[in-house]
A and B are shown apart, each in its own frame.
Chain A
Amino acid sequence: MVGIIGYGAYIPRNRIKVEEIAKVWGTDAQSYKKGLMLEEKSVPAPDQDTITMSVEAARKAVRRAGIDPADIGALYVGSESHPYAVKPSGTVVAEALGSTPECHTSDFEFACKAGTEAMFVASQLVKAGSVRYAMGVGADTSQGAPGDALEYSAASGAAAYLFGAEKEKVVAELIDTYAYMTDTPDFWRREHMFYPRHGGRFTGEQAYFRHITSAAKGMMAKAKMKPADFDYVVFHQPNGKFPLRAGKMLGFTDKQIGTGWLVNKLGNTYSGASPLGLTAVLDEAGAGDLILVVSFGSGAGSDGFVFRATKRLKSVQGLAEHTRDMLDRNKRYVDYGTYLKYRKMIIMNE
Chain B
Amino acid sequence: MQPQRYWREIPQRYRLEAGRCRRCGKVFMPPRGLCDSCRSTEFETIRLADRGKVHTYTVIRVPPAGFAAQSPYVLAVVELDDGVRLTMQVADCGPDEVRVGLPVRVEFRKINEVGKSGVICYGYKVVPA
Contact = CB atoms under 8 A, between A and B. Distances in A.
Contacts of A95: 10, 14-15
A56 B92 contact: no
Interface in B98-116: 107-111, 115-116
A52 B122 contact: yes
A138 B110 CA distance: 19
A47 B127 CA distance: 12
Interface string A322-337: 0000000010100000
Contact residue range for chain B?
A: 20 to 34
A23 B9 CA distance: 45
Given A47-B111, A48-B110, A348-B68, A92 B92 contact: no
Nearest to B47: A98
A96 B110 contact: no
B120 A46 contact: no
A344 B68 CA distance: 11
Contact of A350 (B14, B92, B115): B115
Given A13-B92, A83-B120, A96-B122, A47 B14 contact: no
A125 interface: no
B108 A49 contact: no
A47 B125 contact: yes
A125 to B, nearest CB: 24
A52 B109 contact: yes
B48 interface: no
A47 B110 contact: yes
A74 interface: no
A183 to B, nearest CB: 33
B58 interface: no
A198 interface: no
Interface in B80-129: 89, 91-92, 107-111, 115-116, 120, 122, 125, 127-128
A52 B115 contact: no
Given A84-B120, A98-B15, A45 B91 contact: yes
A52 B92 contact: no
Given A46-B70, A344-B69, A52 B14 contact: no
A29 B120 CA distance: 37
Interface in A309-331: 330
Contacts of B110: 46-49, 51-52
A42 to B, nearest CB: 12
Contact of A46 (B14, B69, B108, B116): B69
B117 to A, nearest CB: 10
* Of B15, B68, B122, most A-chain CB atoms within 10 Å: B122
Given A52-B108, A55-B108, A342-B69, A47 B91 contact: yes
A56 B127 CA distance: 12
Contact of B109 (A14, A48, A330, A350): A48
A341 interface: yes
B45 to A, nearest CB: 11
B108 A56 contact: yes
Contacts of A84: 120
A56 B107 contact: yes
Contacts of B122: 51-52, 55, 92, 96
Interface of A: 13-14, 45-49, 51-52, 55-56, 59, 83-84, 92, 95-96, 98, 330, 332, 341-342, 344, 348, 350
Given A51-B110, A52-B107, 12 more contacts: A46-B110, A49-B120, A51-B122, A52-B109, A55-B122, A56-B107, A92-B14, A96-B14, A96-B15, A96-B108, A342-B69, A348-B68
18 contacts: A45-B92, A46-B69, A47-B89, A47-B111, A48-B109, A51-B120, A52-B110, A52-B122, A56-B107, A84-B120, A92-B14, A92-B122, A96-B14, A98-B15, A342-B69, A344-B69, A350-B115, A350-B116
Interface of B: 10, 14-15, 68-70, 89, 91-92, 107-111, 115-116, 120, 122, 125, 127-128
